Amino acid sequence: MVNRTDLARQAYSKAIQERRDAGISPTSPLCAFDLIYKKGIEVRFQNISSMEGLYCNDGKPLIFVSSCRPRGRIAYNCAHEYGHHVFGHGNRIDEVLDQASKNQWEPEEFLADCFAGFLLMPKIAVCKAFSSRGWDSKHCSSDQIFTISGYMGVGYNTLLFHMCYSLQLISRVQYNDLNRVTPKMLKEQLYGETHANDLIIADTLWVSKPIDLCVGDILITPNESIVDGECVEYIGECPKGYAYRACTQGLDRIQEKQGGWASHIRVSRQLYEGLVQYRHFPEE
């Protein structure tokens, strides 16, 4: 019988090796799409609601991911499909499953899931993201987890589950309490009103990777900032700081008015279809 602990260890070792081979520190967040593209694997976004992702290799590896999912879920699905490639699982299609199907355990799916989690959220990177902000990863609040999930490029529930069941940073009691808080509730708390699209909080510790948004997403910074281009527009103040809306596809740059922190911004359109490397190209 396959041992889950052994599979998780395999996934962890392979994920850390992939980071090392790509020259990415285990303490840093990463963009799954950029990593996989640099590995020479074609990644395509498709507007297919019934699919999470697909991996095929008929001489040339190819990954499809559904653009119908939230930004963090798409990144996780892409890393999951890359896990199938890394472990040589052959052609796979991951469809949207009902709860009964989700409860059916498959070793290869479990291995790819663990790999995606450790690739995107290694323990040392998660702990550093909390500690550098003066937060305790073992006694954290829902809004802190929401902030870190955006920084790590995953969803709130994905990070929460990973912190409990894979990294064992929080107990199941803490997990159950924090899981009662939904992303919708947090968006309203942090932004001040209900918002259907993604919301990202980028503080001065957001370093080492660009801020990725889709058109309609909201970006919040703790300090008033200046946007260089036209992809992101200033909305106004909100409970958590200063709010900006991604309004058109392309590349931009944001910098604090007082100088110091700055970051590049990449905006893709909602339900983008096409190759991953062109997702931020301005529309003609």
CATH code of the domain in which 96 resides: 1.10.10.2910
- The backbone torsions φ and ψ at residue 24, rounded to the nearest 5 degrees and listed phi first, read -105, 125
Residue 246 — left, alpha, or beta (φ > 0 → left; ψ -120 to 50 → alpha)?
Answer: beta
| Helix ranges, the chain (H) | 4-21, 32-38, 71-86, 99-102, 107-120, 123-131, 142-152, 156-161, 172-179, 183-191
Residue 264 lies in a domain: yes
Which of 158, 181, 204 is the last residue in one of the domains?
181
Cα-based distances in Å from 234 to 186, 221, 269: 21, 11, 18
**281 domain-assigned:** no
pLDDT of residue 102 exceeding 60:
no
Q: Is the pLDDT of residue 228 over 50?
A: yes
In a shared domain, residues 29 and 112 = yes
What pLDDT, in 10s, does the model give residues 106-142? Answer: 999 999 999 999 999 999 999 999 999 999 999 999 9
φ/ψ of 84, rounded to 5, equals -60, -40
Which among 14, 96, 19, 83 is positioned nearest to 50, based on CA atoms? 96
Handedness of CA 183, 188, 194, 200 (dihedral sign): negative
Split into its structural domains, the chain has a count of 3
Q: Are strands 262-268 and 232-238 parallel, antiparallel or unpaired?
A: unpaired
On whether both 115 and 145 belong to a single domain, the answer is no
- Of 46-55, 139-148, 187-196, where does mean pLDDT reach its minimum? 187-196
Q: 164 and 195, same structural domain?
A: no
Is 50 exceeded by the pLDDT of residue 92? yes
Range(s) of the domain holding residue 139: 124-181
Distance CA 63, CA 74 (A): 12
Coil, helix or strand for 240? coil
Q: In the block, which residue shows the tokens 């879920």? A: 73
Residue 95: pLDDT band by 50, 70, 90 thresholds? confident
Among the candidates 181, 203, 227, a domain finishes at 181
Name the one residue in this structure whose structure tokens are 């200063």.
242
Instruction: Confirm whether 283 is domain-assigned.
Output: no
Under the banding of pLDDT at 50, 70 and 90, the label for residue 94 is confident
Whole-number Å distance between alpha carbons of 206 and 4: 34
Q: 86 and 174, same structural domain?
A: no
240 and 202 housed in the same domain: yes
State the DSSP code for 181.
S
Beta strand 262-268 pairing with 274-275: unpaired
| 240 part of a folded domain | yes
- 41 and 105 in a single domain? The answer is yes
Nearest-angstrom CA–CA distance, 124 and 16: 11
DSSP 77: H
Contacts (Cβ under 8 Å, ≥6 apart) of 178: 142, 145, 160, 170
Q: What is the mean pLDDT of residues 227-236?
A: 93
Q: Give residue 210's pLDDT.
A: 96
Q: Are residues 136 and 206 in the same domain?
A: no
Residue 40 located in a structural domain: yes
Query: Which pLDDT belongs to residue 196?
Result: 77
Residue 280 within any structural domain of the chain: no
**Buried-exposed string 34-71: b where 16+ CB fall within 10 A, e elsewhere:** bbbbeeebebebbebeebbbbbbbeeebbbbbbbbbbb
Q: Does the pLDDT value for residue 284 go beyond 90?
A: no
Which among 134, 165, 181 is the end of a domain?
181
Q: Is it the case that residue 194 has pLDDT exceeding 90?
A: no
pLDDT of residue 100: 43
> What is the structure's pLDDT at 183?
95
Give CA–CA dist 103/88, Å, rounded.
24
Q: What is the pLDDT of residues 28-75, one digit of tens each?
A: 999 999 999 999 999 999 999 889 999 999 889 999 999 999 999 999
| pLDDT class of 98 with cuts at 50, 70, 90 | very low
Q: Answer yes or no: is pLDDT of 99 > 50.
A: no
CB 42 within 8 A of CB 57: no
Residue 61 phi, psi (nearest 5) = -65, 140
The predicted model scores a pTM of 0.94
What is the average per-residue pLDDT within 237-257? 94
Which CATH number belongs to the domain containing residue 222 in this structure?
2.60.40
Indicate if 54 and 90 belong to the same structural domain: yes
Report the pLDDT value the prediction gives residue 96, as an integer from 0 to 100. 66
Same domain, 75 and 105: yes
Span 82-109, average pLDDT? 78
Task: Answer yes or no: do 15 and 83 share one domain.
Answer: yes
Same domain, 100 and 137: no
* Residue 279 domain-assigned (yes or no): no
Between CA 74 and CA 266 the distance in angstroms is: 16
Q: Flag whether 282 is in a domain.
A: no
Q: Are 113 and 176 in a shared domain?
A: no
pLDDT at 12 over 80: yes
Which pLDDT score, from 0 to 100, does residue 78 have? 97
The 3-state DSSP class for residue 146 equals helix
